[in-house]
Amino acid sequence: MTKSDAGYSLYLVTDSTPAILGDKDLCHVVEAAVKGGVTCVQFRDKTSDTGLLVETARRLHKITQKYSVPLLINDRVDVALAVGCEGVHIGQDDMELSLARRLLGPDAIIGVTVSNSGEAQRACEGGADYVGIGTVYATPTKKNAKSIIGTAGVRGILDAMRGYGHSVKTVCIGGINESNLQRIVFQSNSYHKKLDGVAVVSAIIASADPQAAAQGLLSLFRTPPPYQGTTAEEEKKASGVFGMLDLAPSIIKAIHMCTPLSHNMTNLVVQNFAANVALAVGASPIMANYGEEAPDLCKLGGSLVINMGTVTPDGLDNYLKALRAYNQVGQPVVFDPVGAGATAVRRAAVKTIMSNGYLDVIKGNEGEINTVFGDDGTQQRGVDSSNALDATQKAKLALKLAYREKNVVVMTGQTDFVSDHERTFTIQNGHQYLSMVTGTGCVLGTAISAAVAVYPDDKLAATIAAMLHFEIAAELAAERPDVQGPGTFVPAFIDELHKIRQAAARDDTAWLKRAKLTLV
Ligand code: 3NM
């Protein structure tokens, strides 16, 4: 097998420690894994003596040769030479790449571990055939991992490698398993360079059925996640302010025509209000906080709102069940991290929710978005719902979170910031009465959920449509002579939501003249 034949889609790194391998035989596990679809095997054993390393590597090589899959040796160029296998994988502290190349020759496959852009570029320039990017997530398999870089870290490295075209292959590693593989690949892939594969240890080696585990992982890698949009990036980028304003009425009309389900897992305070807002915008609300119902509800073509307003251990478990169900079928999820920074419990809940699924839209005020962003440990600001940031910083924060999560981020305030990282807009509509009534922020999440359900191809455009609908309805309501304060405002607001929806159904767009939408 030559190095140009090598595939990296599912890269298995072995581990012979009892905690991971158990009492299974490594060669049996590797053979089963290769039968299941593993495309490349790295023999990694940091403790055995050289004699045993060579002997095990020889046995493994017989197996990988049978299935035409390359065998690489971790760190030990001497073992690779002794066995005559296809190559090595070296870490930053191992033998220099140029020396390994000199010893192994031009036909050997040499991969290098990288955890930042500089290391990646040096590996490319030094003639590496592929890079192993990590550590994506902390993993018990490698307790001494030097840097945990998350999916945004992987994406930054892929971006930095764009100049090297397709010649240097890429896999990422660390904490990858069946439940997070698709999201990790989706959030890591840069528009300029995509991952060629994923590398795993425990997801296969610790499995009771390594062949089935490999089969499952490979099929997940090859299938785009259901929530991945289908609109071409260029098409999305074309829609500036005029494009957005053009789309908004048709999105509101589509809600009217399709009556999408808006499944709300929300707090007790706003349940009734949220259901009424859903009805007013033309959606069909269901307030169902029990996660076991989600696998049925997610099949109805609607979307899910997870509003963390009253978080409890049971509640969190229910959110996760529902999140998994909606992610599996690719129906959108709107996350409202209410009071995210208020308590340690809420901060932990945010982390758990974000690491267990893909959130199509995250909506919060400045303090909440700040806390959500800080949860990767790089920018911890804690509780902060005041106006601490200026407009440029707010736009940057929304953009950075949207970049990291590869989703849409809404930061509400007097001026709202909405970003999918490629495009960032501000909206300056709404009325102060909205801040005098409880739950208006929460029910905006419900309005957004209806829009992303009917227009999933461009969730930013859908979110903006819902926000304009919502905030212009508030302005119209507040201006009515019968509205004297926040109390009389609420029913008028629901009326105006309903009226705008009916106007959109008639293709009457007069209401939209009020839109104060700006591209940042
Ligand atoms: N290298 P699991 S992380 C072998 O970051 C290895 O370079 C890493 O194990 C790196 O798939 C890692 O069980 C262990 O999480 C990955």
Q: DSSP for 385-398?
A: -S--S-HHHHHHHH
CA distance 130 to 146: 20
Q: Does residue 84 sit in the same domain as residue 214?
A: yes
Q: Does residue 81 sit in the same domain as residue 215?
A: yes
The answer as to whether 231 is a domain residue is no
pLDDT at residue number 108: 98
Q: Is 40 a catalytic residue?
A: no
pLDDT at residue number 238: 52
Final residue before a domain boundary, out of 222, 254, 276: 222
**Ligand 1 interacting residues, C-beta cut-off 6 A:** 13, 44, 113, 132, 134-135, 139, 141-142, 145, 173-176, 200-203
Q: Ligand 1, from 11, 13, 89, 157: best to mutate by most atoms within 8 Å of Cβ?
A: 13
Closest CA to 519 of 235, 251, 239, 247: 239
pLDDT at residue number 235: 58
pLDDT at residue number 138: 87
Element containing residue 132 per DSSP (H, E):
strand 130-133
Q: Beta-strand (E) ranges in 399-493? A: 408-412, 416-419, 424-427
Q: Does residue 291 sit in the same domain as residue 184?
A: no
CA distance 284 to 277: 10
pLDDT at residue number 383: 35
| Structure token digits, residue 85 | 């296998």
Measured between alpha carbons, how far is residue 396 from residues 3, 193, 381, 391, 426 in Å? 43, 24, 15, 9, 12
CATH number of the domain bearing residue 215:
3.20.20.70
Provide, rounded to the nearest whole percent, the portion of the chain with pLDDT above 70: 96
The answer as to whether 233 is a domain residue is no
Which positions ≥6 away from 331 have C-beta within 8 Å?
226, 227, 298, 301, 302, 303, 304, 453
pLDDT at residue number 379: 36
ipTM over 0.90: yes
Report how far Cα 398 is from the mean position of its chain's Cα atoms.
Answer: 15
The answer as to whether 227 is a domain residue is no
User: Ligand 1 centroid to 214 CA: how many Å?
Assistant: 16
Domain residues for 43?
3-222
Pairing of strands 361-365, 197-200: unpaired
Q: Does residue 349 sit in the same domain as residue 425?
A: yes
Number of domains, the chain: 2
User: Ligand 1 centroid to 172 CA: how many Å?
Assistant: 9
pLDDT at residue number 229: 66
pLDDT at residue number 380: 34
Residues in the chain where the model's pLDDT stays below 70: 229-238, 375-387
Q: Are 164 and 122 in contact (CB under 8 A)?
A: no
Q: Active-site residue among 40, 85, 298, 442?
A: 442
Q: Are 260 and 281 in contact (CB under 8 A)?
A: no
CATH number of the domain bearing residue 247:
3.40.1190.20
474-504 b/e (C-beta count within 10 Å ≥ 16 → b): bbbbbeeeebeebeebbebbbbbbbbbbebb
DSSP alpha helix (H) spans, 90-232:
97-104, 117-125, 150-160, 181-188, 202-205, 210-222
In ligand 1, the atom with minimum distance to the C-alpha of 205 is: 13
Q: Does residue 342 sit in the same domain as residue 212?
A: no
The answer as to whether 228 is a domain residue is no
CA distance 465 to 253: 10
pLDDT at residue number 386: 57
| Structure token digits, residue 236 | 């999305």
Nearest CA to ligand 1 atom 5: 135
